[in-house]
Amino acid sequence: MAKEKRSIDDLTMWDDAKQMIRKAEKDGVETVWDRLEQQTPHCPFCEQGLTCQKCVMGPCRISEKKPRGVCGADADLTVARNFGRFVAAGAASHSDHGRDLVETLLAIGQGKTTDYTVRDEEKLRRIAGEIGLDVAGKDTKTLAKEVAESMTQDFGFATKSLGFMSRVPAKRRELWKKLGITPRGIDRDIVEMMHRTHMGVDSDPVSLCLHSARLCLGDGWGGSMIGTELSDVIFGTPTPTTGKVNLGVIQEDQVNILVHGHSPIVSEMVLAAVNDPDLLAAAKAAGATGINLAGLCCTGNELLMRQGVPMAGNHLMTELAIITGAVEMILVDYQCIMPSLVQVSSCYHTKFISTSDKAKFAGAEHVEFNHTNAKEQARKVVRMAIEGFKLRDKSRVDIPGEPVELMTGFSNEAILGALGGTPDPLIDAIKAGAVRGAVGIVGCNNPKQKHDYVHVNLAKELIKRDILVLVTGCATVAMGKAGLMMPGAASQAGDGLKAVCESLGIPPVLHVGSCVDNSRILHLCGVLANALGVDIADLPVAASAPEWYSEKAAAIGLYAVASGIYTHLGLPPNITGSEMVTGLALGGLNDVVGACFAVEPDPFKAADLIDARIKAKRKGLGLSE
Ligand code: MSK
């Protein structure tokens, strides 16, 4: 039977996206949705996690008729091995991002860079104390060096526990110890998963699943947390500010530069360069009225949170932003950058520039950024973008929509600061039922789902039920475009949450950052659990990745669950070929770590599931509804 083509209305909920999908058709540009259609239906063995390509006795496909691969691995083992490598790649990505921040801090401490400095010295001192360093009498450079060296140990292997284990509530630490899943080194546990999943090593699916949890905990409480905290130290801890979102932030009369990826190391330098008077004069000489910097995906989140730089879009908007025909340059660091962006750029005058030696793109121009050349390289790429403005074909420009305003900058420091420096007012609001609980809505877009539909509707349902939403990553753009990130959105919340938001002047959906910044949510859960003297699993909280796609998102989901946080996914990982692994994920883990996953594509049913969990947790704490 012929496949039925999805209508544009089924692809996305946004008008700016629909207009650009139509323009792509007109301009003859292929998008992610075209390629999804070409690739559908997908291989059912791969979808269920039942293919194995780990040796050349295979590849094998496990089925009822042929239940074991050549080596003898059955469905459970095959799925567990595949999933273990899947989350190992996700944890490696976050953690390698964190390592770049450690190297930058070390360069600052050693005096090897003048391009980067410590902007939040108070935070540097605070985290130095938290990870067990003696801070008394030490100057900033010495402390920067010592913090970086201590965190370098966290990546290696376990001479001591990870520095931020001090943030984990005691009951949780005890449980991890009992289960043998305390992370022992960020890199070590990732590498060990590669070893365990080599043919003939760990052949017990339960043992592999537990190690998956351990390496993900090393991501959440290690690599990601280091990435977040050191980004704050070097670039400043976010404080509440406003920003703008959607394709309307691209300016017709300006040189437009989009930064995309995850790390603030490159984009913060570009931000400094676009404000350089000499470069602004050069842009004017080229016929533009200015230079406009806007973000995509999590690099965009980093700049939005700290600097209020506008966001052009999330993951599924990256191709569409270029299709406006008004983008002079897309500058990328790493992660979530579709290789197709090079081809899409080549259909317009857009220059595609890669900046990291670990993320090069065939057909792109590479401008390497490092600690000693970052400021100069940033000026160089801005000059290139200004040159590009002269090549823009005005007849091909179409920028849809008006920007929507949003509020951002809700770091834990900002949240606690707004509460008077203590979590007590939030705890009181939870106890009184004004805020019944909190949910972190995180992550990506997936073209298999209607773009941003699940994000937005889930958030609306939750706030209606007096559940505070914390948002990170690409979900942020969805919430911002829907108007849920301004204080006025409190009118859409239940009476209790509405009153709390109105008294504090905050929206019911709080932006807490990029994907590594999910570690802020873990940390906040730790603070709340410690204040109440309970485990994280006892809190009325949950997580949701409604439109996830990446290995990183799976790692986030697993570190949330292993930390005791019930986690909803809008679509399942490729594990359904094993009843055992699926059963563990969807229920069995509850008896092991006190939380599990739920898979539900419908945002309204997902809200019911999360609500039921929050109700149960409130009851467990003796709190009324
Ligand atoms: S960028 S991991 S699509 S959130 Fe972090 Fe967005 Fe997901 Fe990438």
Quote the CA–CA distance of 572 and 576 in Å, as a whole number: 8
pLDDT of residue 159: 62
Q: Which among 231, 245, 319, 444 is the best mutation to test ligand 1's pocket, defined by most ligand atoms within 8 Å of the CB?
A: 444
- Does the fold of domain 408-620 match that of domain 247-396? yes
Tell me what percent of the residues of the chain surpass a pLDDT of 70: 99
Count CA within 13 A, CB hemisphere, residue 507. Answer: 28
Q: Which fold has domain 408-620?
A: Rossmann fold (3.40.50)
Burial of 158-186, coded b for 16+ CB within 10 Å and e otherwise, reads eeebbbbbebbbebbeebbeeeebbbbbb
Q: Which among 302, 336, 442, 479 is the best mutation to test ligand 1's pocket, defined by most ligand atoms within 8 Å of the CB?
A: 336
Quote the CA–CA distance of 227 and 237 in Å, as a whole number: 12
Identify the band that residue 432 occupies on the pLDDT scale cut at 50, 70 and 90: very high
pLDDT in tens, 581-625: 999 999 999 999 999 999 999 999 999 999 999 999 999 999 987
Averaged over 309-320, what is the pLDDT?
98
Q: For residue 299, what is the enclosing H or E element?
A: helix 297-307
Identify the band that residue 2 occupies on the pLDDT scale cut at 50, 70 and 90: low
352: β partners: 330
Averaged over 291-320, what is the pLDDT?
98
Structure token digits, residue 186? 């960020």
Quote the CA–CA distance of 367 and 378 in Å, as a whole number: 9
Return the closest-CA partner of residue 537 out of 585, 595, 581. 595
pLDDT of residue 3: 66
Which residue has the CA at smallest separation from atom 7 of ligand 1? 444
pLDDT of residue 428: 95
Q: Indicate if the pLDDT at residue 4 is higher than 80.
A: no
Averaged over 390-413, what is the pLDDT?
97
Tell me what percent of the residues of the chain surpass a pLDDT of 90: 97
Identify the band that residue 355 occupies on the pLDDT scale cut at 50, 70 and 90: very high
Averaged over 126-131, what is the pLDDT?
97
pLDDT of residue 62: 98
* Atom from ligand 1 closest to the CA of residue 335: 8
Structure token digits, residue 465? 């039920």
Is the CB of 392 within 6 Å of ligand 1?
Answer: no
Domain borders along the chain are 75-235, 247-396, 408-620
Averaged over 233-239, what is the pLDDT?
98
pLDDT in tens, 58-79: 999 999 999 999 999 999 999 9
pLDDT of residue 1: 52
Question: What's the CATH number for 247-396?
Answer: 3.40.50.2030
Structure token digits, residue 334? 């790493």
Say if CB 105 and CB 144 are below 8 A apart. yes
Q: Indicate if the pLDDT at residue 396 is higher than 60.
A: yes
Please state the φ and ψ torsions of residue 513, each to the nearest 5 degrees: 130, -150
Q: Which among 552, 556, 571 is the best mutation to test ligand 1's pocket, defined by most ligand atoms within 8 Å of the CB?
A: 552
Is the CB of 478 within 6 Å of ligand 1?
Answer: no
- The CATH number for 75-235, chosen from 3.40.50.10440, 3.90.50.10, 1.20.1270.30, 3.40.640.10, is 1.20.1270.30
Q: Indicate if the pLDDT at residue 141 is higher than 70.
A: yes
Is the CB of 515 within 6 Å of ligand 1?
Answer: yes
* pTM (2 d.p.): 0.97
Is the CB of 318 within 6 Å of ligand 1?
Answer: no
Burial of 444-472, coded b for 16+ CB within 10 Å and e otherwise, reads bbbbebbbbbbbbbbbbbbbebbbbbbbb
pLDDT of residue 103: 97
Identify the band that residue 160 occupies on the pLDDT scale cut at 50, 70 and 90: confident
